[in-house]
């Protein structure tokens, strides 16, 4: 309600006695407004005339319905936006997964599997691998090496080992796929079985059988600390089984090189049966230049000079393992002197017995130990062109 002044523009709100207002007074040029306070209605110029607004049940219900509808509408719109973003993200991940699949030779692998009939080899989906490894949780890591990281995983109730390889060079796609096709057919007592793969990540994932026991590295550590006694016969049997496994990989139609031969990659199943693991990501062409790989202490000096992975490099690494089995010493001493150089000096000076593990030294075993030492020496010869082959090593053992 308004009241117009006849005296020009004055502030009537400052003269309440002359211009009474019992609500909200607002000065306006030439007049003023007087309204009831919020939540009331009536004539604000009359004292006590502004009465509280009382909503009827019908009005309250109507307001509640409108408010509920608005909340529901905004909630639905919000849910729709979230689902839309999720769908866009999922589509992007699917496109990316397909790109990785093609990049790693997935289509080529499918075609070759049809021809070869590899029914026992499984191509796993990206999500199954993520769930099985709890999104590659560090707590699932059971091994790390120069060629990738290995995770413990459970797929369809079965415990498996999943190896996350390094990224594959585009020029090596054909070699990698052919290597997988060959490996999935390998059935050797002393080689961990390759069960499948997933090619929908930035780097290939290989799925292997899980060996529930120790590694040769752990067994050697127990022997060094005198917490477990490993007989000479057991040591040489493990060496013989491992050598036979490597020799088998090299004898395949396309030889499979390992590139990181060390005790940690020789698993020990029930009864301390050796099982060679952590293969499948190495370059299979002997003449190809590759990125340096391997573990210090086991790397062939020839490889460090040429960066060309050959079967001879694996033989050298195996020779170091033989030395560890005979001496229970690490590849490097506390003084950083290599076990290889100490062994070669001992062989030249006739002081081998001083280097050996005293737990296996006795008159009855020395002849066998000497033969094993000569074999190890043949594995460590430089240059590698004069070394024994893994097949000869396996036969000798």
Active site residues: 260
Q: Tell me the angle at which helices 311-327 and 363-379 cross, rounded to the nearest 10 degrees.
A: 160
**Burial profile 175-199: b = 16 or more Cβ within 10 angstroms, e = fewer:** bbbbbbbbbbebeeebbbbbbbbbb
* Cα separation values, 276 from 42, 147, 361, Å: 94, 15, 28
163 Cβ neighbours under 8 A, 6+ residues apart: 147, 148, 149, 150, 151, 205, 206, 207, 208, 278, 280, 281
Question: How far apart (Å, rounded) are the C-alpha atoms in residues 90 and 95?
Answer: 9
**Burial profile 79-92: b = 16 or more Cβ within 10 angstroms, e = fewer:** eeeeeeeeeeeeee
* Cα separation values, 261 from 293, 328, 375, Å: 10, 17, 17
- Token readout for 309 is 């992975």
Question: Which residue has tokens 């070699």?
Answer: 175
Radius of gyration of the chain (CA): 39
Find out whether 71 and 138 touch, Cβ atoms under 8 Å: no
Q: Tell me the angle at which helices 311-327 and 232-250 cross, rounded to the nearest 10 degrees.
A: 170
Q: Is 393 exposed, middle or buried (0-12, 13-18, 19+ CB in 10 A)?
A: buried
What beta strand segments (E) does the chain contain?
Answer: 2-4, 24-28, 31-35, 40-41, 51-52, 122-123, 141-145, 148-155, 158-165, 194-198, 205-209, 214-215, 266-269, 273-276
Question: How far apart (Å, rounded) are the C-alpha atoms in residues 294 and 302?
Answer: 13
């Amino acid at each position: 309600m308004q009241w117009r002044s006849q005296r020009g523009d004055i502030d009537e709100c400052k003269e309440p006695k002359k211009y009474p207002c019992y609500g909200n007074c607002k000065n306006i040029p030439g007049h003023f407004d007087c309204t009831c306070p919020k939540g009331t209605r009536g004539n604000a110029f009359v004292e006590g005339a502004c009465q509280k607004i009382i909503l009827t049940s019908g009005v309250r219900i109507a307001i509640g319905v409108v408010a509920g509808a608005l909340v529901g509408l905004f909630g639905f719109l919000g849910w729709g936006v979230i689902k839309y973003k999720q769908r866009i993200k999922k589509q992007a991940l699917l496109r990316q997964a397909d790109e990785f699949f093609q990049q790693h030779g997935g289509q080529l692998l499918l075609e070759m599997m049809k021809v070869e009939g590899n029914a026992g080899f499984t191509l796993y989906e990206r999500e199954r691998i993520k769930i099985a490894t709890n999104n590659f949780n560090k707590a699932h890591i059971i091994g790390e090496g120069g060629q990738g990281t290995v995770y413990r995983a459970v797929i369809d109730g079965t415990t498996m080992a999943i190896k996350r390889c390094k990224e594959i060079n585009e020029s090596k796609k054909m070699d990698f796929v052919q290597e997988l096709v060959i490996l999935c057919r390998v059935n050797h007592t002393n080689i961990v079985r390759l069960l499948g793969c997933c090619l929908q990540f930035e780097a290939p994932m290989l799925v292997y059988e899980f060996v529930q026991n120790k590694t040769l590295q752990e067994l050697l550590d127990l022997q060094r600390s005198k917490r477990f006694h490993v007989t000479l016969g057991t040591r040489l049997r493990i060496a013989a089984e491992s050598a036979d496994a490597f020799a088998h990989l090299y004898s395949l139609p396309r030889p499979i090189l390992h590139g990181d031969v060390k005790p940690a990659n020789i698993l020990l199943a029930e009864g301390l049966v050796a099982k060679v693991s952590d293969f499948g990501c190495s370059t299979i062409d002997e003449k190809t230049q590759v990125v340096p790989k391997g573990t210090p202490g086991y790397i062939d000096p020839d490889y460090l000079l040429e960066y060309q992975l050959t079967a001879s490099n694996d033989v050298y690494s195996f020779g170091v393992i033989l030395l560890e089995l005979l001496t229970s010493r690490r590849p490097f001493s506390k003084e950083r002197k290599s076990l290889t150089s100490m062994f070669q000096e001992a062989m030249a000076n006739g002081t081998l017995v001083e280097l050996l593990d005293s737990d296996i030294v006795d008159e009855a075993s020395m002849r066998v130990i000497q033969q094993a030492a000569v074999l190890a020496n043949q594995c460590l010869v430089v240059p590698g062109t004069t070394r024994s082959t893994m097949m000869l090593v396996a036969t000798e053992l």
